[in-house]
């Protein structure tokens, strides 16, 4: 009698998450949830250790899933795997009541700095509930319902199809004609001309630089020099220039950072 073949175990793949799902919550909110569970207060360093450990976890059953959304173009979302967090840490800033994502090694290139700070970071709320032992409510992503009978009756004729196509083309044309001032700035040809800065942007950026230097007089050294400081100013106060940070950081240095340093030197 022939021996029976052994059944292969069923391997279930982890479902791919929709990046627009409302169960994605900001990293700060997820951190606060764990922090209150641990210590009863927000911004606990122990919560930072637990969160970064879960983000780096290679075991997908224990991993805290994450994604990020661009500050420059909010329509851009990217899923993040555990390897992304390998050289990062989460720092608690009690004075500013904020979280900071920092590298575990000194930043050598301002590209790397922009790659970290030009994004909002999110975590998967059901994974937070799992970490805390809470029952997670299974909610299905909303799906658009289609009335098949209506489609068959109204979209089957050539006349209805042509009218639908014409309406779609009209909507595209209307969207293309409407451009915000920010979009008009981004559409300008990129050349050697320095970026145009508003008086409000200059004032807010100078105030931001003063605050950073007041909090840490060695801020320029800690962040890696003027180049990285200018990229930090762009990411936090002039995000519309984020895609041009590599080209226009010298202008930010000349118009904002150097005058701030001169003012502080004169006062000192």
Q: How confident is the model at residue 78 (pLDDT cuts 50, 70, 90)?
A: very high
Domain boundaries, the chain: 24-131, 199-267
d(CA 72, CA 121): 14
Task: Give, to the nearest 10 degrees, the angle between helix 199-215 and helix 258-267.
Answer: 50
d(CA 62, CA 195): 46
d(CA 185, CA 193): 13
Residue 77 confidence (pLDDT): 94
Residue 191 confidence (pLDDT): 47
CA 240, 242, 248, 254 dihedral sign is positive
Which burial class, exposed, middle or buried, applies to 69 when counting CB atoms under 10 A from its CB (0-12, 13-18, 19+)?
middle
Average pLDDT over residues 53-69: 89
Average pLDDT over residues 86-90: 89
> Does residue 51 register a pLDDT over 50?
yes
Residue 65 confidence (pLDDT): 94
Average pLDDT score, the chain: 78
The reported pTM is 0.48
Question: Order of strands, edge to edge, in the sheet holding 119-124?
Answer: 24-26, 119-124, 66-70, 77-80
SS3 label, residue 15: coil
> Which is more confidently placed, 142 or 97?
97
Residue 266 confidence (pLDDT): 75
Average pLDDT over residues 48-72: 90
Residue 167 confidence (pLDDT): 65
pLDDT in tens, 190-238: 445 667 788 888 999 999 999 989 888 888 888 888 888 888 888 888 8
pLDDT in tens, 1-35: 455 656 655 545 556 889 999 999 999 999 999 99
Q: How confident is the model at residue 172 (pLDDT cuts 50, 70, 90)?
A: low
The token pair that represents 242 in the structure block: 């984020």
Q: Where are the beta strands (DSSP E) in the chain?
A: 24-26, 66-70, 77-80, 88-93, 98-103, 119-124
> Which is more confidently placed, 133 or 4?
133
């Amino acid at each position: 009698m022939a021996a029976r073949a052994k059944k292969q175990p069923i391997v279930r793949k982890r479902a791919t998450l929709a990046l627009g799902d409302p169960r994605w919550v900001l990293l700060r909110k997820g951190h606060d949830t764990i922090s209150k569970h641990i210590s009863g207060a927000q911004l606990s360093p122990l919560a930072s250790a637990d969160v970064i450990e879960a983000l780096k976890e290679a075991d997908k059953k224990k991993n805290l899933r994450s994604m990020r959304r661009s500050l420059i173009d909010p329509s851009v979302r990217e899923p993040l795997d555990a390897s992304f967090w390998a050289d990062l840490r989460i720092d608690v800033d009690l004075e500013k009541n904020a979280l900071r994502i920092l590298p575990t090694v000194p930043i050598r290139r301002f590209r790397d700095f922009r790659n970290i700070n030009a994004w909002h970071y999110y975590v998967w709320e059901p994974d937070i509930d799992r970490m805390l032992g809470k029952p997670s409510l299974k909610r299905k992503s909303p799906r658009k319902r289609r009335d098949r009978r209506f489609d068959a009756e109204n979209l089957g004729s050539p006349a209805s199809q042509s009218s639908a196509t014409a309406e779609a083309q009209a909507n595209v044309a209307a969207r293309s004609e409407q451009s915000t001032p920010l979009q008009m700035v981004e559409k300008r040809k990129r050349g050697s001309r320095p970026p145009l800065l508003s008086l409000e942007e200059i004032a807010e950026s100078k105030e931001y630089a003063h605050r950073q230097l007041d909090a840490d007089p060695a801020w320029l050294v800690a962040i890696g020099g003027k180049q990285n400081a200018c990229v930090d100013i762009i990411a936090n106060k002039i995000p519309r220039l984020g895609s041009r940070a590599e080209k226009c950081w010298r202008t930010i240095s000349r118009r904002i950072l150097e005058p701030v340093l001169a003012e502080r030197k004169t006062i000192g």
